[in-house]
């Protein structure tokens, strides 16, 4: 029997298991939980264990049972491969949330995580959140050693930690030959607001440095003042379409009046379809009223892609003064324009317009029908009979969408319908939505209602959904 | 940089993973939501969609839905990998398995990497075998397959970026020609690997592959449901010679899936052997 | 800007457009909140437009907060706003939650 190492902080009870801990030690975990009512989360740290005995597993199950009865969450931390295999083969992994907890790692081991695609981001996040002099020194050491993958993450981590002190290191990394290191340095300098580096970023644009375009555009925008829109605008006419795209991104982020002028002129001059689509999308992000008018004009463009992008942009902005045009567009020959046009009408409360929207329903394709039903749920003063009539449509998505809209409009009516459809609808998509509504409102006896059909339910997603909420 | 800007909610997640499952056999677990967000956000934005629901309707109701389904499967089956990943089993192949097979009198040996993704695993195997001089001692074929036609094309091309080399030793880089930001695998490695498109869950794979001595199938079973796992392992059993070796990912096991293999401790890792 | 206290955490609901001017107002108000509490969650649910000047104010707010060991997290962004964060890599700097409930935890 070993000694049990643990600490309790802010309701988190963390136990560090040693290889010499045995069953009696794990039973001790239960005793400690009994004594400390403030515990809301148990973390069992297996960092030091490379194998696990079956007796110990029995102990874990006992802790899990206790945790469940007290509604305490439980996590297994730093589970090694061998133990993961044992847990999987005994089907126990489902009982526990399995996570990494970097607090148990020695610093040197932790940095190796930068090399692991799946871990690099979380390791970096952890280091930034716990940033101190020790971590700082280690990161600087890594940058000096020069392995590009490690340097990239070291820079990003220092930037995340808002380390302004080492700005010279980031500036120096701008000159790296490795695109990933350079990109990281560019982003970090943008985050910490180093306007001093802006000219160098422009030089990368001018030199057309492949691989760092996106980062350059993003950081120039973050570092911009009222002179930058003009400087960037000349790249809207660059021969290389990638450079033009990057300029569009940066200008849309700067989002000032000048940027708007340049982008709206560019859409008249630009010939390349991909670039025009991007222009249409980004113009939609300007609050300027003229943006809406431009998009409206693009709804009649010869290119189907431009028409759809314009309609999508308008639907994000809301219909506003263009309502009547957009209502007509529901019946557009391109059904995705109709789809986005319908969606743009959320928030309408005019009965006449609502009737007009409904009148398109029978004339349009399935996807537009779905958008019409969706948007009716977001309008005010809609007569529910239209939606109710769709609940026995032959198409499962129509029924599901009608139920969803009904719920947004009148949750009491929707609940009654949901309780019925949960028992009768043949489509699992509809039943899943019904379960969602029932669980959202939790009416009296909802758990026995849900449980009542469990044995007949054949769809595993619904079973998982219900069991996840109310237990087996 | 434009990863995961569109989030998927629970209902969208189950609907989309059902579509993916029915068309590829791959089952995304609850904790893999972020993978779908990361891999599909850009595609959704290209189609002007702001929610996954809109995209699901596109997959179901657009005239180009068949084509989009292929795009979807290709996007979600790209497995990010790197050279010498989970190196223990690779080393064991070179230091034990292949020498043992040669000692037992085998003249021709086949190793199968499935799924091979963008080729880092089969090329790693080829490089290690070459370094150990094993290509001179027997005729060794490396076969590599993936369900995703796009990654197979990339693997054949053999062009890599910095991100594919995570902590590899510097002499490993000898096997690549550097051009700007790109690293091209050299022809004397490339010629040892044969690439093909194929789905490991279907019986058709057995005739495509023929008999092999060693199978690497790492970090993919976790994406299948029990039925998919069992079908795959049955295929593997039929394809393996005797003795036959199967390498799974470090968090994967055959427990409850198949009784036809025994587990073997191989230094720092685990390898499964076909039962006689 | 509405502010609600949920489970001891302040949730601030940003609205409309986040630019240099409104961003600076947000910063001032949130800094006041952080004098009293340790955690503030910024909800972007009703934010329709944002530009880089507004984004800079949010970064500035974050900088001050982390210096004082306080926590500012963000939630409920539409895909356009979220794209601004991911394009600039700031999605890795901030803690961004999908929903308010997830942010409150």
Reported as a single tens digit per residue, the pLDDT across B67-123 is: 999 999 989 887 778 999 989 999 999 999 999 999 999 999 999 999 999 999 999
For every one of its 472 residues, what pLDDT tens digit does chain A have, with 9 covering 90 and above?
Answer: 567 889 999 889 999 998 888 777 888 888 898 899 899 999 999 998 888 877 888 888 889 888 888 888 899 999 887 788 788 777 777 788 888 899 999 988 899 888 877 788 889 999 999 999 999 999 999 999 988 889 999 999 999 999 999 999 999 999 998 888 999 999 999 999 999 999 999 999 888 877 788 899 999 999 999 999 999 999 999 999 989 999 999 999 999 999 999 999 999 999 999 999 999 999 999 999 999 999 999 999 999 889 989 998 998 887 777 889 999 999 999 999 999 999 999 888 899 999 999 999 999 999 999 999 999 999 988 889 999 999 999 999 999 999 999 999 999 999 999 999 999 999 999 999 999 999 999 999 999 999 988 888 999 899 988 987 776 6
Residues B101 and B40 in one domain: no
Of the two residues B105 and B265, the one the predictor is more confident about is: B105
What's the pLDDT score for residue B3? 52
What's the pLDDT score for residue B1? 43
Q: Is A29 exposed, middle or buried (0-12, 13-18, 19+ CB in 10 A)?
A: buried
| CA torsion through residues B159, B161, B164, B165, sign | positive
Cβ of residue C51 closer than 8 Å to a chain A Cβ: yes
| Percentages (nearest 5) of helix, strand, coil residues in chain A | 65, 5, 30
Chains contacting chain C through 3 or more C-beta pairs under 8 A: A, B
For residue B55, give how far its alpha carbon lies from the nearest alpha carbon of chain C (Å).
14
Domain count, chain B: 2
3-state secondary structure of A51: coil
3-state secondary structure of A442: coil
Residues B22 and B106 in one domain: no
Q: Does A67 fall in a domain?
A: yes
Determine the residue among C44, C81, C86 to mutate to test chain B binding: the one whose Cβ has the most chain B Cβ atoms within 10 Å.
C86
Residues B163 and B229 in one domain: yes
Residues A361 and A392 in one domain: no
Strands B139-146 and A5-9: unpaired
Q: Does B1 fall in a domain?
A: no
Count each helix (H run) and each strand (E run) in chain B, helices first: 11, 10
Q: Does A292 fall in a domain?
A: no
Average pLDDT on B25-36 reads 83
Chains contacting chain B through 3 or more C-beta pairs under 8 A: A, C
3-class SS letters over chain C: CEEEEECCEEEEEEEEEECHHHHHHHHHHHHHHHHHCCEEEEEEEEEEEECHHHHHHHHHHHHHHHHCCCEEEEECCCHHHHHHHHHCCHHHCCEEECCHHHHHC
Domain that holds residue B30: 10-76
Q: CB-CB: which of B48, B80, B165 is closest to A312?
A: B48
Reported as a single tens digit per residue, the pLDDT across B147-198 is: 998 899 999 999 998 889 887 888 999 999 998 788 999 999 999 999 999 9
Domain that holds residue A405: 385-472
Residues B34 and B129 in one domain: no
CATH number at residue A364: 1.25.10
Residues A50 and A63 in one domain: yes
Residues B50 and B135 in one domain: no
CA distance B91 to B84: 9
Query: Which residues, in sequence order, are bridge partners of residue A9?
Result: A12
Answer for the pair A351, A380: CB distance below 8 angstroms, yes or no.
no
Residues B65 and B201 in one domain: no
Answer with the one of A316, A349, A382 that is the final residue of a domain: A382
Beta strands across the sheet bearing B176-179: B159-160, B182-185, B176-179
Give me the total of CB pairs closer than 8 Å, taking one residue from chain B and one from chain C.
Answer: 27
Q: CB-CB: which of C86, C88, C89 is closest to B4?
A: C86
Q: Does A294 fall in a domain?
A: no
Cβ <8 Å between B48 and A309: yes
| CA torsion through residues C80, C85, C89, C92, sign | negative
Domain count, chain A: 5
Q: What is the mean pLDDT of chain C?
A: 92
Residues A112 and A217 in one domain: yes
Cβ of residue C4 closer than 8 Å to a chain A Cβ: no
Cβ <8 Å between A218 and C87: yes
Cβ <8 Å between B50 and C78: yes
Residues B34 and B171 in one domain: no
Answer with the one of B53, B76, B99 that is the final residue of a domain: B76
Answer with the one of B46, B76, B106 that is the final residue of a domain: B76
Q: CB-CB: which of C87, C88, C98 is closest to B7?
A: C98
Residues B135 and B218 in one domain: yes
User: Which residues numbered 15-74 in A keep a CB inside 8 Å of some CB on B?
Assistant: none
Determine the residue among A85, A119, A186, A438 to mutate to test chain B binding: the one whose Cβ has the most chain B Cβ atoms within 10 Å.
A85
CA distance A177 to A179: 6
Reported as a single tens digit per residue, the pLDDT across C23-64 is: 999 999 999 999 988 899 999 999 999 999 999 999 999 999
Residues B112 and B220 in one domain: yes
Residues B141 and B245 in one domain: yes
For residue B243, say if its preceding peptide bond is cis, omega within 30 degrees of 0.
yes
Answer with the one of A336, A355, A382 that is the final residue of a domain: A382
Q: CB-CB: which of B1, B50, B51 is closest to C86?
A: B1
Cβ of residue C55 closer than 8 Å to a chain A Cβ: yes
Cβ <8 Å between A461 and B251: no
Reported as a single tens digit per residue, the pLDDT across C56-100 is: 999 999 999 988 889 999 999 988 899 899 899 999 899 999 889
Instruction: Please check the confidence at residue B2 and state whether its pLDDT lies above 60.
Output: no
Answer for the pair C46, C83: CB distance below 8 angstroms, yes or no.
no
Look up the ipTM and state it. Answer: 0.94
What's the pLDDT score for residue B4? 59
Residues A214 and A148 in one domain: yes
CATH number at residue B206: 3.40.50.150
Residues B122 and B64 in one domain: no
∠ at Cα C29 (C23, C31), nearest 5°?
A: 100
Answer with the one of B51, B76, B101 that is the final residue of a domain: B76
CA distance A180 to C98: 28
Q: Is A226 exposed, middle or buried (0-12, 13-18, 19+ CB in 10 A)?
A: exposed
Q: Does B4 fall in a domain?
A: no
Q: CB-CB: which of B1, B49, B62 is closest to A218?
A: B1
Cβ <8 Å between A461 and B58: no
CATH number at residue A127: 1.25.10.10
Nearest to A215 by CA among A228, A205, A224: A205
Structural domains in chain C plus CATH codes: 2-104 (3.30.750.24)
Determine the residue among B4, B7, B8, B40 to mutate to test chain C binding: the one whose Cβ has the most chain C Cβ atoms within 10 Å.
B7
What the block records as the tokens of B124 is 């790693």
What's the pLDDT score for residue A262? 97
The residue of chain A with its CA nearest to that of C61 is A162
For residue A35, give how far its alpha carbon lies from the nearest alpha carbon of chain B (Å).
33
Residues B151 and B235 in one domain: yes
CA distance B245 to B234: 14
Q: What is the mean pLDDT of chain A?
A: 91
- Chain-centroid distance, C-alpha A1: 46
Answer for the pair C49, C21: CB distance below 8 angstroms, yes or no.
no
What's the pLDDT score for residue A15? 92
CA distance A358 to A343: 13
For residue A251, give how far its alpha carbon lies from the nearest alpha carbon of chain C (Å).
10
Answer with the one of A53, A87, A104 that is the final residue of a domain: A104
CA distance A268 to A274: 14
The residue of chain B with its CA nearest to that of C97 is B7
CA distance A403 to A347: 18
| CA torsion through residues A308, A314, A318, A324, sign | negative
């Amino acid at each position: 029997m070993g000694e049990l190492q643990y600490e309790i902080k802010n309701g988190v009870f963390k136990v560090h298991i040693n290889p010499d801990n045995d069953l009696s030690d794990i039973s001790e975990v239960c005793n400690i939980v009994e004594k400390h009512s403030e515990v809301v989360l148990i973390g069992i740290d297996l960092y030091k264990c490379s194998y696990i005995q079956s007796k110990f597993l029995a102990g874990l199950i006992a802790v899990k049972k206790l945790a469940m009865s007290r509604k305490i969450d439980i996590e297994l931390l730093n589970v090694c491969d061998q133990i993961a295999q044992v847990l999987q083969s005994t089907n126990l992994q489902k009982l526990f949330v399995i996570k990494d907890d970097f607090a148990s790692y020695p610093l040197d081991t932790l940095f190796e995580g930068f090399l692991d695609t799946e871990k690099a981001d979380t390791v970096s996040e952890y280091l930034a959140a716990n940033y101190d002099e020790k971590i700082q020194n280690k990161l600087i050491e890594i940058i000096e050693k020069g392995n590009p993958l490690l340097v990239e993450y070291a820079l990003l981590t220092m930037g995340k930690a808002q380390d302004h002190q080492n700005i010279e290191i980031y500036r120096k990394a701008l000159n790296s030959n490795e695109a990933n290191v350079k990109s990281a340095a560019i982003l970090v300098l943008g985050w910490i607001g180093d306007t001093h580096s802006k000219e160098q970023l422009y030089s990368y644009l001018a030199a057309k440095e492949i691989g760092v375009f996106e980062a350059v555009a993003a950081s120039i925008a973050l570092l911009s003042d009222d002179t930058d829109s003009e400087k960037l605008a000349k790249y809207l006419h660059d021969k290389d379409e990638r450079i033009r795209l990057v300029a569009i991104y940066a200008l849309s982020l700067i989002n000032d009046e000048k940027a708007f002028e340049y982008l709206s002129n560019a859409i008249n001059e630009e010939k390349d379809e991909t670039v025009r689509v991007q222009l249409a999308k980004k113009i939609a992000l300007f609050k300027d009223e003229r943006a809406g008018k431009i998009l409206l004009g693009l709804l009649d463009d010869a290119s189907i892609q431009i028409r759809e992008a314009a309609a999508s942009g308008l639907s994000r902005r809301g219909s506003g003064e263009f309502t009547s045009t957009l209502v007509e567009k529901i019946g557009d020959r391109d059904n995705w324009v109709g789809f986005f046009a319908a969606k743009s009408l959320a928030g309408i409360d005019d009965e006449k317009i609502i009737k007009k929207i409904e009148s398109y329903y029978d004339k349009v394709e399935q996807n537009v029908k779905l958008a019409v039903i969706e948007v009716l749920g977001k309008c005010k003063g809609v007569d529910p009979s239209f939606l109710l009539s769709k609940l026995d449509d032959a198409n499962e998505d129509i029924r599901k969408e009608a139920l969803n809209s009904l719920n947004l409009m009148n949750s009491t009516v929707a609940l009654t319908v949901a309780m019925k459809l949960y028992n009768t609808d043949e489509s699992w998509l509809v039943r899943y939505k019904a379960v969602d509504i029932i669980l959202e409102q939790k009416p009296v006896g909802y758990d026995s209602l849900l449980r009542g059909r469990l044995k007949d339910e054949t769809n595993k997603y619904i079973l998982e959904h219900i069991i996840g909420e109310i237990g087996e | 940089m434009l990863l995961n800007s569109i989030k998927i909610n629970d209902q969208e997640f189950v609907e989309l993973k059902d579509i993916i499952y029915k068309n590829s056999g791959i089952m995304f677990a609850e904790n893999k939501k972020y993978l779908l967000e990361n891999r599909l956000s850009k595609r959704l934005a290209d189609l002007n969609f702001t929610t996954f629901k809109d995209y699901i309707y596109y997959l179901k109701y657009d005239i180009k839905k068949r084509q989009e389904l292929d795009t979807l499967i290709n996007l979600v089956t790209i497995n990010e990998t790197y050279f010498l990943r989970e190196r223990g089993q690779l080393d064991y192949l070179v230091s034990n398995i292949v020498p043992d097979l040669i000692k037992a009198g085998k003249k021709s040996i086949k190793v199968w990497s499935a799924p091979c993704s963008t080729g880092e695993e089969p090329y790693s195997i080829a490089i290690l075998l070459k370094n150990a001089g094993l290509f001179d001692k027997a005729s060794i074929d490396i076969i590599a397959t993936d369900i995703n036609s796009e990654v197979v094309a990339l693997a054949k091309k053999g062009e890599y970026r910095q991100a594919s080399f995570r902590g590899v030793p510097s002499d490993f880089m000898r096997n690549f020609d550097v051009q700007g930001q790109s690293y091209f695998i050299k022809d004397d490695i490339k010629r040892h690997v044969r690439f093909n498109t194929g789905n490991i869950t279907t019986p058709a794979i057995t005739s495509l592959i023929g008999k092999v001595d060693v199978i690497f199938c790492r970090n993919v079973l976790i994406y299948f449901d029990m039925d998919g796992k069992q079908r795959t392992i049955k295929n593997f059993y039929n394809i393996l010679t005797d003795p036959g070796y199967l390498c799974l990912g470090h968090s994967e096991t055959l427990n409850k899936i198949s009784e036809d293999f025994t587990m073997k401790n191989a230094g720092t890792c685990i390898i499964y052997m076909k039962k006689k | 800007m509405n502010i609600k206290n949920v489970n001891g955490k302040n949730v601030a609901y940003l609205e409309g457009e986040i630019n240099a001017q409104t961003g600076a107002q947000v910063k001032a108000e949130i800094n006041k909140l952080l004098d009293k509490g340790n955690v503030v969650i910024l909800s972007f649910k009703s934010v329709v437009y944002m530009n880089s000047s507004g984004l800079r104010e949010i970064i500035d707010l974050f900088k001050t907060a982390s210096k004082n060991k306080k926590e500012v997290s963000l939630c409920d962004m539409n895909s356009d706003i979220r794209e601004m964060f991911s394009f600039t890599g700031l999605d890795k700097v901030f803690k961004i939650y999908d929903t308010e409930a997830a942010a409150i935890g």
